[in-house]
Structure 1
Amino acid sequence: MTDNGLYVYAIVRAEHRTPKGLAGVGSPPLPLRFLVEGRVGAVVSDVPPKLRARRRDLLAHQDLLLRLTGSGPTLPMRFGTVAPDEAAVRAQLLAAEHRHLAALERLDGRVEVNVKAFPPSDALAHLVREDQNIRRLHEAARRRPGYEANLRLGEAVVTALSRRAAEAGQSAVRELTPLADAVATGPEVPGCALNTSFLVGRAAEGRFRAAARDFAAARQDRVELRLAGPLPCYSFVGADGPLTGAGA
């Protein structure tokens, strides 16, 4: 082990079967270790030199978490989570054993699916037909084209498209929520009208995706839904993550 602490990837049950052939971040990828304390364990490695959020390591971190999730419930750590030493990790595992077990039970057999709502890129014609103010500004810009007219039209179009996408996104959340076990609002994303994650049972994931596709197809003039997943269940392990108090 290096003097730089331990890189912590996830917390799992003590009996979790870690898939073979897994490796951590770094170049070359660092070997993994499994620290068990009581009924829970942590998947760790040494900390790679000059740890930075390189695309290669971000993907390696995510791939490892997805493969761990495939063989049992997993509490994922954010990229770059480093504990001071093995003793700190073991102490935290022991202190929070019951909390970790409860969270693992809640996530068992489930994945995260993220849904983002964006204004559609080709909805201007629909907007002109349906929005009287946009139609008026559009006609004014055609009659007397110029910077000010185009600016007013552009600002009104952006505002209207964002509003319609947000309203449709909220409708999507209401329609998709019964198909999920939990819902979490995500942080704001530039250009995105709505960012929401759903905790979905693996057996229900296909039905969830089909419902999202059907919803988007019926409202393609108002919203573009982008789904990402299955993802590690970052949004459902608590705001501070599962290693709170471990010096992470």
Structure 2
Amino acid sequence: MAVYIYSITGKQHPVRLDGLEGVGDPPARLRTVTGGTLCAVVSDAPDDLRPKRRDISAHQRVQDRLMEDGTVLPLRFGLLAPDDEAVRGVLEERAGEYTDRLKALEGCAEYNLKVSQDEEALLREILLASDTARELNDEIRRGTAAPDAQVRLGELVAGEVRARQEALASGVVEALRPFARDQQQAQPTGEDFLNISFLVPGDQEELFVTTELSLANQMGEDVHFRLNGPLPPYSFV
């Protein structure tokens, strides 16, 4: 039977699994597979594994419990292996790599920050700051603009939006970087212009969160910060 893999720890980790359930319906029983100095938390994989809320929650609860007692490499939902022997083989073959990652993550948690900006407020700022944009906008509204005015205004505004948001994002990252051991930037989606994860040591978490709150207050109501954490450090495995 295929094996579902939740996470990897050092063999010295207590790996308390009491009271936890694995993925599947009925829930699979959790167990460990040891290879050299490493240990993987696994269970039998259900035949119809899907990213259902119950299974995602079960996966996350394993990570949260393990993080309470030590460093863990949290694997993303859905990782399978053919059997326990295959898991053991990977632990032994990649022992150096996994051990290095455990050391890099020791005492740390992930914080994910997404930032967006009110589009109407930003457009008003651009029209106030740019004479060219304001004149084009006025001509379009009066019906006296050249045929290409709408395109020119769109390009001008898009360029201004990009420049302003890149500057904001850079300022936010630079302010938070001193409190993080590492960072991973992802492609923003939707209205967000920044999507970044920080690997924050436990002794820096309070300063990190306080600085993030200060930045959010400084930038005002038109810039929206959404900080999620502490999380298992998925982005840094």
Please give the range of the TM-score, normalised by the shorter of the 2 chains.
0.7 to 0.9
What's the CA shift for 1:111? 0.5
Q: Which residue is equivalent to 1:228?
A: 228
1: CA distance, partners of 2:157 / 2:39: 52
Q: Which residue is equivalent to 1:242?
A: none
Letter paired with 2:181: D
What's the CA shift for 1:229? 1.5
What's the CA shift for 1:211? 0.8
What's the CA shift for 1:64? 2.2
What's the CA shift for 1:117? 2.6
1:90-110 alpha-carbon deviations (Å, 9 max, x no partner): 111122223222211211110
- Unmatched tracts of structure 2, length 5 or more: none
2: CA distance, partners of 1:102 / 1:9: 19
- Map 1:149-188 onto structure 2 (within 5 A): 157=157, 160-188=160-188
- Map 1:103-122 onto structure 2 (within 5 A): 103-122=101-120
Task: Return the match for 2:48 from 23, 47, 50.
Answer: 50
1: CA distance, partners of 2:144 / 2:46: 58
What's the CA shift for 1:17? 2.1
Q: Which residue is equivalent to 1:198?
A: 198
Letter paired with 1:131: S
Q: 1:172 to 1:222 in 2, by over 3 A?
A: farther
- Map 1:201-212 onto structure 2 (within 5 A): 201-212=201-212
Q: 1:149 to 1:34 in 2, by over 3 A?
A: same
What's the CA shift for 1:113? 0.8
Q: 1:64 to 1:139 in 2, by over 3 A?
A: farther
2: CA distance, partners of 1:80 / 1:71: 24
- Taking only aligned residues, the RMSD between alpha carbons, in angstroms, comes to 2.7
Mapped contact 1:169–1:193 kept (Cα < 8 A)? yes
Q: 1:218 to 1:175 in 2, by over 3 A?
A: same
Q: Which residue is equivalent to 2:72?
A: 74
1: CA distance, partners of 2:132 / 2:171: 24
What's the CA shift for 1:223? 3.8
Task: Return the match for 1:18 from 15, 31, 36.
Answer: 15
What's the CA shift for 1:59? 2.9
Letter paired with 2:9: V
1: CA distance, partners of 2:142 / 2:72: 61
SS at match of 1:193: strand
1: CA distance, partners of 2:143 / 2:19: 67
2: CA distance, partners of 1:182 / 1:85: 34
Task: Return the match for 1:62 from 60, 63, 69.
Answer: 60
Higher helix share: 2
TM-score (norm 2): 0.85
SS at match of 1:172: helix
1: CA distance, partners of 2:28 / 2:196: 33
TM-score (norm 1): 0.82
2: CA distance, partners of 1:121 / 1:63: 37
